[in-house]
Amino acid sequence: MKKKADITIGKTLKMLLSLIWRLDKTYYLVLGLASLAGGLNTIFNIYIPKILIDGYSRGWQAKDYIRVILILGLAKYSLLQLRAYIKRQEKIRQSLLDEKFPIAFANKVMGIDYANLEDAKVLDLKERALFPVTNFGALLQLLSGAVDFLTSLFTVISLVVILVAFSPLFMVLVFFLTLIGLIFSARFMTVLKKITEDLIPINRRYAYYADTATGPLFQKEYRIYGMSSLMTRKINEFTSEMYGWLRNIQVAQANTETRQGIVTGITRFLTYSFVALRVLSDRFGPLISLGDFSVIVAATDSFAVSFRGLVTSVITIGQSISYLKPFCEFMSIPDTKAKSGSLLPEPLEKLAFENVSFSYPNSDRLILDDISFVINRGEKVSIVGLNNAGKTTIVKLICRLFEPDSGRILWNGIDIRDYDYEAYIDKLSCVFQDFQLFPFTIQENIVTQKSGQDEKEEKRLWQVLEEVDMREAVETLPNKAQTYLDKSLYEEATDLSGGQKQKLAIARSIYKESDLVILDEPTAALDPLAESEVYENFNQLVQNRTAIFISHRMSSSIFCDRIILLENGKIAGFDSHEKLMKGHNLYRKLFETQAKNYIS
């Protein structure tokens, strides 16, 4: 992957906004309404006492009061209900978005170049991208920050209107004092931002240990080797580290609150004095009523609170955006389809490697060094070599999971990159060494693309299961081929043994009607009988398709037409078994080491 420039906060925000819009068209409407309702509520509460106090100077009777109070009560009730209703909508939307974000992320992972997936940096980016969403609630923080922002904005504007009408000079004074309070907030927020950013990697490590302590991978080892105290101690190392950090945050926050308390105290002192003086005399402006007194006092207080809320929410939003930056960085990796060629491949006649060299990104080691060979239609070719000789790399290059650094791979003489990606992939099928079955039904794992002809599909499915000797095993399952494969997702699922899974993977690859079949260590988990069945039925399994076979078991190369021997990134031999046995050293050595165990 090419090194991408860091994306900016502005671009991140834009991406997030459009992603949210794409995932939920009504969210912004709900967001606006929620803020409006929140703001209205504040203003309304400020005015209620004024109305009642002014009633006194207007000489209201008991029945006037009761009428007004009932009307106010009704209005307040309606407002509260409206708020409750919108709040619920907002909550529903928010938690749905929180579910949808990881899904959008998954869609991205499924769509980008495979080379990314073997890049340790991209893997790291993925961890950094998902962690804030799944463990930190960064998205929820952003969304509630947005509501707070709009609510405060609405309230602040209304309050400024009230206060300016009362006294522009006073407004300026209050504004100035609030600003001082804000400086304290801002200073705290920079400290907080710094600390939380420092905490993210610590938190991530903590999450690794806590997750693996509860996760399924190592439970056997924890028990047999008594590792629970080791894990607990690892977790505690981070706990005490985090305790120190968090205490610092709390103390810094307390100090900020104390400073702000002082500013608020001064503001209140000025407010009460000034407003009281205005009630008392007209030296600083027109006389005001006791009702206005209560409005101004409440409005000044609310102004300070809301204005601080406004700024805090901006900081919260900024903070969550910086948390979500890796997420957006990941989401901006381009999709594969964008750079696919457009030719449609013809049935395979000849597959050729032409001076292909390759080393993995971010690695100096040359895995394949100027390799050339040709495989013809219908040929069965085996690739052998020591661990890490580059056997699997050849498979990945053919599958267009990686591109050669130099040289070309030709399908019927045409560079495979010039073909439409999906059309080309449809010509291949493969059992990868580290194959994975998907958490769906057995049928869905084998019939990966629906053809629409259900009956024909069904028939072929059972035929393929028969060929890999899984028919009986599948038939005894309660839901037969409709049985799900992942017990942690479906209660009715089944757990297959490693060997059975491998058989299904083989079934999947022969079900797919492809021109070229690649089998990379397809029998590693099979018992000797099942393995020899695969070998013996190999020709029948792959039929007249071209096939490439990779295995540590040297015996497998006997039933192949020719064998590619890889050594130090070069092809050290490409010939039949008999010929290689006569000549080459490494091949003979590998073969005889294993063979001697079987020869009495």
Partner 1 sequence: MQTQVNSSKETGFRKNLAIELLDKETRKKYLHTEKHSMLDLLKDMYRPVLKDGGLVAASIGYAIFSGLLPLLSVLIVHILVGLLTEANVEASRLIMVAGLYAALFILCTSVSSQLKGRNSTKFMLLRLKALNKMLDKHMTMDYGLYENPSFLDDLGNWSRSLASNNTGLEGSYHKIFELGGTFISLILLGGLLFMVSPLIALVAIVFVIVFYLAQRNITSYKHRRREELQRVGRRSGKFAREASDFRYGKDMRLFRMEDRFQRAFKPLLLAYEKLYKAFTMRELQLSFLESAALVLIDIVSFIVLALQLDKASISIEAFVMLLTAVTLFTQTVQNFAQGLAFVKGETLYYGDAIDLIEADLVSTGGDMHIDREGLKSIRLELRDVSFHYPGSDKLILKDLNLVIEPGEKCALVGVNGAGKTTLVKLITGLYQPTKGQILINGIDTRTIAQRELFSLFGVVFQEVQPLALTIAENVAAADIDIDRDRVVDCLKQAGLWEKVSSLPKGIDSPVLKVVEDDGIIFSGGENQKLAIARALYRKDSLMMIMDEPTAALDALAEEKIYREFDSILSGKTALFISHRLASTRFCDRIVLLDGGSISQEGTHDELIGQEGLYKRMFTAQGKYYQEDKGEADQ
With binding defined as CB under 8 A, does residue 265 bind partner 1? yes
Backbone φ/ψ region at 59: left (φ over 0), alpha (ψ -120 to 50), beta: left
Binds partner 1 (CB under 8 A): choice among 8, 81, 406, 539: 81
Q: Which strand (E) or helix (H) includes residue 411? A: strand 406-411
DSSP label at residue 438: -
With binding defined as CB under 8 A, does residue 67 bind partner 1? no
Give 23's Cβ-side CA count (13 Å radius). Answer: 20
- Under rule CB under 8 A, which residues in 579-598 are in contact with partner 1? 581, 590-591, 593-595, 597-598
With binding defined as CB under 8 A, does residue 264 bind partner 1? yes
Rounded least distance, CB 262 to partner 1, Å: 5
Is-contact 586 567, C-beta < 8 A?
A: yes
Closer to partner 1 by Cβ: residue 149 or 424: 424
Rounded least distance, CB 198 to partner 1, Å: 15
Binds partner 1 (CB under 8 A): choice among 432, 538, 549, 574: 432
With binding defined as CB under 8 A, does residue 36 bind partner 1? no
Task: Report how far residue 269's alpha carbon sits from residue 110's, in angstroms, rounded to the nearest whole number.
Answer: 61
Q: Which stretch binds partner 1 (CB under 8 A): 34-42, 93-101, 164-172, 566-574?
A: 93-101
CA angle in degrees (0–180, nearest 5) for 466-468-473: 65
Rounded least distance, CB 199 to partner 1, Å: 12
With binding defined as CB under 8 A, does residue 205 bind partner 1? yes
Q: Which stretch binds partner 1 (CB under 8 A): 106-114, 187-195, 362-370, 456-464?
A: 106-114
Binds partner 1 (CB under 8 A): choice among 6, 455, 472, 491: 491
- Identify the CA nearest to 37 among candidates 73, 72, 93, 89: 89
Binds partner 1 (CB under 8 A): choice among 11, 28, 76, 414: 76
Residues whose CB is less than 8 angstroms from the CB of residue 91 and which lie 6 or more positions away in sequence, other chains included? none
Binds partner 1 (CB under 8 A): choice among 235, 314, 333, 352: 235
Task: Report how far residue 557's alpha carbon sits from residue 573's, in angstroms, rounded to the nearest whole number.
Answer: 13
Closer to partner 1 by Cβ: residue 281 or 342: 281
Q: Which stretch binds partner 1 (CB under 8 A): 27-35, 123-131, 191-199, 410-418?
A: 123-131
Closer to partner 1 by Cβ: residue 273 or 372: 273
Rounded least distance, CB 49 to partner 1, Å: 4
Closer to partner 1 by Cβ: residue 280 or 374: 280
Closer to partner 1 by Cβ: residue 372 or 438: 438
Closer to partner 1 by Cβ: residue 214 or 544: 214
- Under rule CB under 8 A, which residues in 130-189 are in contact with partner 1? 130, 134
Contacts with partner 1 by CB under 8 A: the residue count is: 165
DSSP label at residue 487: T
Closer to partner 1 by Cβ: residue 100 or 408: 100
Rounded least distance, CB 310 to partner 1, Å: 21
Closer to partner 1 by Cβ: residue 103 or 413: 103
With binding defined as CB under 8 A, does residue 18 bind partner 1? no
Residues whose CB is less than 8 angstroms from the CB of residue 297 and which lie 6 or more positions away in sequence, other chains included? 271, 272, 275
Q: What is the 3-state secondary structure (H, E, C) of 101-129?
A: HHHHHHHHHHHECHHHHCCHHHHHHHHHH
Residues whose CB is less than 8 angstroms from the CB of residue 116 and which lie 6 or more positions away in sequence, other chains included? 1, 122, 333
With binding defined as CB under 8 A, does residue 53 bind partner 1? yes
Binds partner 1 (CB under 8 A): choice among 21, 44, 77, 176: 77
Closer to partner 1 by Cβ: residue 183 or 279: 279
With binding defined as CB under 8 A, does residue 519 bind partner 1? no
Binds partner 1 (CB under 8 A): choice among 2, 3, 6, 226: 226
Distance of CA 281 to the CA centre of its chain: 65
299-303 contacts at long range (C-beta below 8 A, 24 or more positions apart): 299/46, 299/159, 299/162, 299/163, 299/166, 300/163, 300/174, 300/267, 300/268, 300/271, 301/268, 301/271, 302/42, 302/46, 302/155, 302/159, 303/156, 303/159, 303/160, 303/163, 303/174, 303/178
Instruction: Identify the bridge partners of residue 275 per DSSP, sorted by sequence position.
Output: none
Structural tokens at position 12: 């991140």
Distance of CA 490 to the CA centre of its chain: 23
- Identify the CA nearest to 467 among candidates 411, 538, 517, 524: 538
Binds partner 1 (CB under 8 A): choice among 7, 41, 47, 118: 118
Task: Report how far residue 116's alpha carbon sits from residue 331's, in angstroms, rounded to the nearest whole number.
Answer: 12
Site string for partner 1, 292-331 (x = CB under 8 A): -xx--x----------------------------------
Closer to partner 1 by Cβ: residue 95 or 543: 95
Rounded least distance, CB 10 to partner 1, Å: 26
Give 190's Cβ-side CA count (13 Å radius). Answer: 5
Binds partner 1 (CB under 8 A): choice among 14, 88, 194, 459: 88
With binding defined as CB under 8 A, does residue 261 bind partner 1? yes
Closer to partner 1 by Cβ: residue 243 or 406: 243
With binding defined as CB under 8 A, does residue 92 bind partner 1? yes
- Under rule CB under 8 A, which residues in 537-566 are in contact with partner 1? 552, 554-556, 558-559
Closer to partner 1 by Cβ: residue 162 or 534: 534
With binding defined as CB under 8 A, does residue 218 bind partner 1? yes
Q: Which strand (E) or helix (H) includes residue 374? A: strand 368-376
**Count of CB atoms situated within 10 Å of the CB of 488:** 9
Residues whose CB is less than 8 angstroms from the CB of residue 188 and which lie 6 or more positions away in sequence, other chains included? 252, 253, 256
Structural tokens at position 204: 């991530």
104-137 in b/e form (b: 16+ CB < 10 A) is: ebeebeeebbebbeebeebeebbebbbbbbeebe
Closer to partner 1 by Cβ: residue 456 or 589: 589
Rounded least distance, CB 135 to partner 1, Å: 10
- Under rule CB under 8 A, which residues in 348-387 are in contact with partner 1? 386-387
Closer to partner 1 by Cβ: residue 221 or 458: 221
Task: Report how far residue 98's alpha carbon sits from residue 129's, in angstroms, rounded to the nearest whole number.
Answer: 14
